[in-house]
Amino acid sequence: MTLEGNGSGLQHRHLLGLETWSADEIKTVHAAARQFREVLDRPIRQVPSLRGVTVVNLFFEASTRTRVSFELAEKRLSADTVNFAASGSSVSKGETLKDTAQNIEAMKIDMVVVRHRSPGAPQFLTRCVDATVINAGDGAHEHPTQALLDTLTITEYHPDLTGLRVSILGDIMFSRVARSNIYALAALGAEITLCGPRTLIPPGINEMVPGGLRITHRLDEALEGCDVAMALRIQLERQGRQLFPSVREYHNQFGITRAHLDQHPDMLVMHPGPVNRGVELASDVVDHERAVILSQVTNGVAVRMAVLYLLSGRSLTA
Ligand code: CP
């Protein structure tokens, strides 16, 4: 298997967010990810593409999917990896992000994957280190690899996203997943509807992308004619105050149930995880064949392999 070029097709040296990424760049990542997806289905799921490249995973915030997925992607590419978690590190002694990153870079690393509670932390790192920086989620700002894997998953059912109707549901205000998906879906030509309680949809969000977004506070309106319903996790840890009456009330108004699946027989359901069962999605919806949540997770490894490979500038032979 050979990929063209040395990572060409990307105009960016880092992946900080998708706001400035073109449709062509997103499709370049998808194309590479599809090839890596085939590698993941082989008996030996490893290629030598990043042999000799050292990647450090800096996780200052909790993660299951993203962290395991990046670690697996790096191992599948034969990179050398180091995992850093803030707990148990010198961050607890007061060391700053800049000092932490510069000290780790002094040990000779090539790429940094960073998750941090502060929006802009990955951008800040690009000014502190020479390594390539990949954003694995920064506060409520962006989670670009999640949107790349979400849009890749959609293409398995709808190869062309032009005019595809995607509804993003729930906690838009605090969701980095929503922001990255809005940029990616808009770049790929999808028609985006946002739906949630008034308190969880920030004013002015419809100006995020040229052409704007449709906004509704009624789930039935959001699901009418919808091809893909993307439910978001209610992020109680970021909200800081009560923004809706109760979790039960939220589920009654904005949760997707089996009845919604029956009413919309062609609609796919997505969720970035972790899912609050019985809140964003009824438990039997999570396990339904039209909920593609675990495909999203599998595609996450392939997308992260693609991003690491393309940003490394290496050419691939497998
Ligand atoms: N989707 C996602 O970012 O999940 P984690 O927080 O478990 O990484």
**Cα–Cα distance list, 276 to 48, 99, 169, 251, 279 (Å):** 38, 36, 14, 10, 5
Per-residue pLDDT tens for 292-317? 999 999 999 999 999 999 999 875 44
Say if residue 5's pLDDT is above 50: no
Exposure of 301 by Cβ count < 10 A (0-12 exposed, 13-18 middle, 19+ buried)?
A: buried
Provide the 3-class DSSP secondary structure of residue 173.
coil
Task: State whether 234 and 271 are in the same domain.
Answer: yes
Tell me how far CA of residue 270 lies from CA of 169, 183, 258, 259, 297, in angstroms.
10, 17, 14, 16, 11
Whether 152 maps to a domain, the answer reads: no
Q: Maximum distance among all alpha carbons in the chain?
A: 57
pLDDT at 232: 96
87 CA to centre of ligand 1 in angstroms? 18
pLDDT for 121 equals 95
Q: For residue range 107-160, list pLDDT tens digits in order.
A: 899 999 999 999 999 999 999 999 999 999 999 999 999 999 999 999 999 999
Say yes or no: CB of residue 118 within 6 Å of ligand 1: no
| Sheet with strand 80-85: strands edge to edge | 80-85, 54-59, 111-116, 132-138
Residue 151 lies in a domain: no
pTM: 0.93
Task: Report strand pairing: 228-231 vs 165-169.
Answer: parallel
* Same structural domain, 192 and 264: yes
User: Across all residues in the chain, what is the average pLDDT?
Assistant: 92
Which atom, in ligand 1's list, is nearest to the CA of 136? 3
φ, ψ at 151 (rounded to 5°):
-70, -35
- Residue whose token pair is 């990810």: 33
pLDDT computed for residue 92 by the predictor: 79
Q: What is the pLDDT of residue 4?
A: 42
Q: Structure tokens of 267?
A: 């609609």
How far, in Å, CA of 215 to CA of 222, rounded?
Answer: 8
Same-domain pairing of 137 and 171: no
* Phi and psi based region of residue 141 (left: phi greater than 0; alpha: psi -120 to 50; beta: remaining): alpha
Residue of 61, 64, 67 best suited for mutating to test ligand 1, as the one with most atoms within 8 Å of CB: 64
Q: Residue of the nearest CA to atom 5 in ligand 1?
A: 63
Burial 204-227 (b: 16+ CB within 10 A, else e): ebbebeeeebebbbebeebbeebb
Residue 318 has pLDDT above 50, yes or no: no
Q: Which domain holds residue 267?
A: 157-291
Angle at 212 between CA 192 and CA 281, to 5 degrees: 30
CA–centroid distance, residue 146 to ligand 1 (Å) = 8
**Domain identity same for 191 and 113:** no
Cβ of 68 below 6 Å from ligand 1:
no
Q: Give domain status of residue 150, yes or no.
A: no
Domain shared by 56 and 180, yes or no: no
Domain check: are 173 and 275 in the same one?
A: yes
Domain assignment present for 273: yes
**Is residue 100 located within the same domain as residue 173?**
no
Tell me the pLDDT tens digit for each residue of 38-88. 999 999 999 999 999 999 999 999 999 999 999 999 999 999 999 988 877
Counting the structural domains of the chain, the total is 2
Question: Residue 50's closest CA among 312, 318, 299?
Answer: 312
Tell how far the Cα of 143 is from the centroid of ligand 1, in angstroms: 9
Q: Is the CB of 235 under 6 A from ligand 1?
A: no
What is the whole-number distance in angstroms between the Cα of residue 235 and the centre of ligand 1?
12
Are residues 79 and 168 located together in one domain of the fold? no
Domain contains 148: no
Does residue 271 lie in a domain region?
yes
Assigned token pair, 30? 């998808």
Say if ligand 1 is within 6 A of residue 63 CB: yes
Residue 66: CB within 6 Å of ligand 1?
yes
Instruction: Give yes or no: residues 137 and 166 share one domain.
Output: no
Burial class (CB in 10 A: 0-12, 13-18, 19+), 114: buried
Task: With cut-offs at 50, 70 and 90, classify the pLDDT of residue 163.
Answer: very high
Is residue 1 predicted with pLDDT exceeding 50? no
Q: Is the pLDDT of residue 257 over 50?
A: yes
Query: Does 58 share its domain with 115?
Result: yes
Q: Quick one: 198 exposed, middle or buried, by C-beta within 10 A (0-12, 13-18, 19+)? A: exposed
Element (H, E) at 86: none
Same domain membership, residue 274 and residue 171: yes
pLDDT of residue 315: 54
Report the separation in Å between the CA atom of 89 and the middle of ligand 1, taken as the mean of its atom positions: 21
**164 and 271 share one domain:** yes
Q: pLDDT tens digit string along 165-210?
A: 999 999 999 999 999 999 999 999 999 999 999 999 999 999 999 9
**Residue 261 class from Cβ within 10 Å (0-12 exposed, 13-18 middle, 19+ buried)?**
buried
CATH classification at residue 22: 3.40.50.1370
